[in-house]
Amino acid sequence: MNVLTFDSNEKLNETGANIIVGLVQTNPRAVLGLATGGTPVGVYEQVVNDFKQGLVSFKQATSFNLDEYVGLDAGHPESYRSYMKHHLFDHIDLPAERAYIPNGNASNLEEECARYDERIAAAGQIDLQLLGLGHNGHIGFNEPAHALIRGTHVVDLAQETLQANARFFNNIDEVPKQALTMGVGTILKAKMILLIVRGADKAEIVHRALTGPITTDVPASLLQTHPHLVVLLDREAGRLM
Ligand code: GLP
């Protein structure tokens, strides 16, 4: 595991973007695993800058997003589809038909999950999986549990997650109670994992996840077993490392 701590958010964003852009420059057909949330926004901004400067093309790349809420219209401003369009997809040349996000409005969610896993399998291995970290140690929407699920599945969101994500909605009651998420097995199969964590409120959980026992109570702790994990932290999140 390679943990890098940054004093400047700009440098952190540049480093994250360089890893993503560098991969696609050397492997134009790269399969990217993408994340949402507040954490990657600045990294996506930098990726878009690099694209606009002509440094990279995503024409041959493929992406799979980690997760999506259940029951929000794809056009809802807080759907992860809208988020990805707003922060990345509308500004780069990644073909829409190869920018996959699970469909949280599918009439049969189990079938949608199985279909999503088949698509990931058909694309081969995810080359780079970008991850943020939930306050309770979740990755994607894999919440702390006695057992974690390998593939894409429907998940009931933890109260803590509903609270954390309420800031994006008018109130907590509007936050969808369920989501579809890639499983931890799929995440761990990626060739490389790029975990980004920011903020003093995540210092304790990032420390537990990366240095504490490997336990399904802290899903991110399973990342310790990954052979190629890069962690980018801002100074506040890295305070206890
Ligand atoms: C969200 C997402 C995760 C994200 C995490 C942290 O609910 N499902 O993929 O990494 O929680 O979010 P943020 O970056 O906004 O703190």
Give the bridge partners for 197, in sequence order. Answer: 233
Contact 96, 1 (CB under 8 A): no
Q: Which ranges of the chain does DSSP label H, i.e. alpha helix?
A: 9-26, 41-52, 80-87, 109-122, 159-165, 184-189, 203-211
Nearest C-alpha to atom 9 of ligand 1 is from which residue?
Answer: 140
Location of structure tokens 């894999």: 142
pLDDT computed for residue 74 by the predictor: 78
Q: Which ranges of 8-108 does DSSP label H, i.e. alpha helix?
A: 9-26, 41-52, 80-87
The answer, as to whether pTM is greater than 0.90, is yes
Q: Is the pLDDT of residue 73 over 90?
A: no
Q: Is the pLDDT of residue 203 over 90?
A: yes
- Tally the domains of the chain: 1
Q: Is the pLDDT of residue 69 over 90?
A: yes
**ipTM of the modeled complex:** 0.95
Our answer to whether residue 93 is catalytic in this structure is no
Rounded to an integer, the average pLDDT of 129-142 is: 97
pLDDT computed for residue 130 by the predictor: 98
Range of the domain at 94: 2-234
Our answer to whether residue 174 is catalytic in this structure is no
What is d(CA 230, CA 239) in angstroms, rounded to the nearest whole number? 17
pLDDT computed for residue 171 by the predictor: 93
Query: For position 143, which CATH number holds?
Result: 3.40.50.1360
Location of structure tokens 């899903």: 219
What is d(CA 45, CA 39) in angstroms, rounded to the nearest whole number? 11
Q: Is residue 239 in a domain?
A: no
Distance 34 CA to ligand 1 centre (A): 11
Distance 114 CA to ligand 1 centre (A): 23
Location of structure tokens 């996840």: 209
Our answer to whether residue 226 is catalytic in this structure is no
Contact 187, 33 (CB under 8 A): yes
Q: Is residue 241 in a domain?
A: no
pLDDT per residue as tens digits for the range 15-65: 999 999 999 999 999 999 999 999 999 999 999 999 999 999 999 999 999
pLDDT computed for residue 213 by the predictor: 98
- Ligand 1 atom closest to the Cα of residue 36 is 9
